[in-house]
Structure 1
Amino acid sequence: MKTKYLPLISFIMFAIVSVSFGQQITVELKDSASLPEKEVTLGDIAYLSCSDADLLKKVHNVIIGNTPWPGNVRKIEKNIIASRLLDAGINPNEVSFGGSDFTMISVESITITGDEILQTAKEYVISKLAYSEGNEEIVVEAEKPPNDIMLPLGGGIMRIAVSQVNENKSSGRVQIVVRIYLDEKQYHKIPMYFTIRRYEDIVVASRKINRNDILAAKDIWIKRIETTNMPGITTFDRIEPLLGKRILYTIPVGKPITQNMVDDPAVIKKGEIVKILVKIGNLSILTKGVAKEDGYRGRAIKVMNLDTKKELYGEVKDDCTVKIIL
């Protein structure tokens, strides 16, 4: 009875072995693979063979993961592939591995150099600057050039947008942001810093000038200096308007002369005899007085009436007349 089953058992064993060998999957990893930005399949990174066409297709489409960012590489080892095969319902024990022990995946890319990004940002900064009249010179300096940027080849329509963090700032240190879009989706954001330096020919002190000095041509000259840190400060680009002005406080040599440093000289000196004018309706009264302080045209001054010895305040009208303020 036992001998009757031997041929049948031998046939079944032969059939199993034949199927097993017939469906053997061979995976030969490539040393490296450069791919478009995509989801990576086993067929992208290995040479595959299998006698079963459907099984071969299934193995080919096993998802391994995503391509790395442009400029980076991703290492895929055999144990990762075995795990992905198992996830796909394929027994890794039925797979014969060959070739490299791992493969290095990179993405096909194009490069935008740091110099190109820098030039684009610098042109934007220059286009936003307002030049004052005269001989102003503006220098735009980048603090640090950006690194090269790699984008996936065929990743979409590229657009570069540049903006300034503080749009109202036009001198000193400014922050610029460069954004790179692919098909209107932001792909990179690059912060950059520029220094905007301004230079002008302005009037400066040629020597130390003391408080209350009256400016003369020998006291000042025109010199080109950096005015970056003088926003909103009124300077002078000609000497003539300053001649005869009174200095309000001591100015060291080389310091720019600004509007808040000078004033018109006194037209009435303390102790001088002045005419005191009093107006009441159509009635005008004129008497003599003495200035109790220096007086400047259009400003109030304290005077004393010489007849009554009473001190009054009036407006300086000219170099000898004070109109009493009632």
Structure 2
Amino acid sequence: MMLRFFLIVLLSLPAQAETVTATRTIRAHAIIADTDVALSTMAVPNGYQRLVDVVGQEARVVLYPGRPILVDDIGPPALVTRNQIVQVHFRGNGLEIVTEGRALERGAIGDLLRIMNLSSRATLFGQVQDDGTILVRQ
């Protein structure tokens, strides 16, 4: 009888959720290392529950110690920085043109960036590829 009571009490207790928090101040655009984060026993709806999901990502905003790391606070590391000269690939209708451009924004793989074609001075939008080039499609 006592065992049943003990099991009922254990099952009725709420489960403790863990959330990833910063252990030190992490500046924006810094890569998060495993020593920068820890698990804390608090429940945050938009927070990360696993350290693996956070380590290696780039902070988009300043992260303060003891505060939970939210989904919008981090992202993949940027491959292209603002004002960087990048190789631009134009593809459309079976034609490919390769030229140089200047990135007008920072971006990671898959981000859509504004770039300026250096030869024509035209502003274009292109997607960052995994090798750091920008792909413009029509």
TM bucket, shorter chain: 0.7 to 0.9
Which of 108, 115, 123 is equivalent to 1:296? 108
Which of 121, 127, 135 is equivalent to 1:309? 121
Which of 24, 46, 60 is equivalent to 1:233? 46
Which of 98, 108, 117 is equivalent to 1:286? 98
Q: Tell me, what secondary structure is at the counterpart of 2:17? A: strand
Deviation digits for residues 105-124 of structure 1, max 9, x if unmatched? xxxxxxxxxxxxxx8xx87x
Return the letter of the residue paired with 1:200: A
Find the counterpart in structure 1 of residue 29 from structure 2: 212
- Greater radius of gyration (CA): 1
Shift of 1:220: 0.9
| Bigger fraction of residues in helix | 1
Structure 2: gaps (5+ residues): none
How far apart in 2 are the matches of 1:240 and 1:248? 18
Shift of 1:310: 1.5
Residue identity (%): 24
Return the letter of the residue paired with 1:285: I
Structure 1: gaps (5+ residues): 1-118, 127-137, 140-197
Deviation digits for residues 244-292 of structure 1, max 9, x if unmatched? 2111222221122232221111111112221111112111111111111
Shift of 1:325: 3.8
Find the counterpart in structure 2 of residue 271 from structure 1: 83
Q: Tell me, what secondary structure is at the counterpart of 1:304? A: strand
**TM-score computed with the length of structure 2 as normaliser:** 0.79
CA RMSD of aligned residues (A): 2.3
| Bigger fraction of residues in strand | 1
The verdict on how the C-alpha distance between 1:303 and 1:253 changes in structure 2, with shifts beyond 3 A counting, is: same
How far apart in 1 are the matches of 2:133 and 2:81? 12
How far apart in 1 are the matches of 2:80 and 2:42? 39
Shift of 1:234: 4.2
Deviation digits for residues 8-28 of structure 1, max 9, x if unmatched? xxxxxxxxxxxxxxxxxxxxx
How far apart in 2 are the matches of 1:324 and 1:273? 15
How far apart in 1 are the matches of 2:111 and 2:123? 16
**TM-score computed with the length of structure 1 as normaliser:** 0.37
- Equivalenced residue count is 131
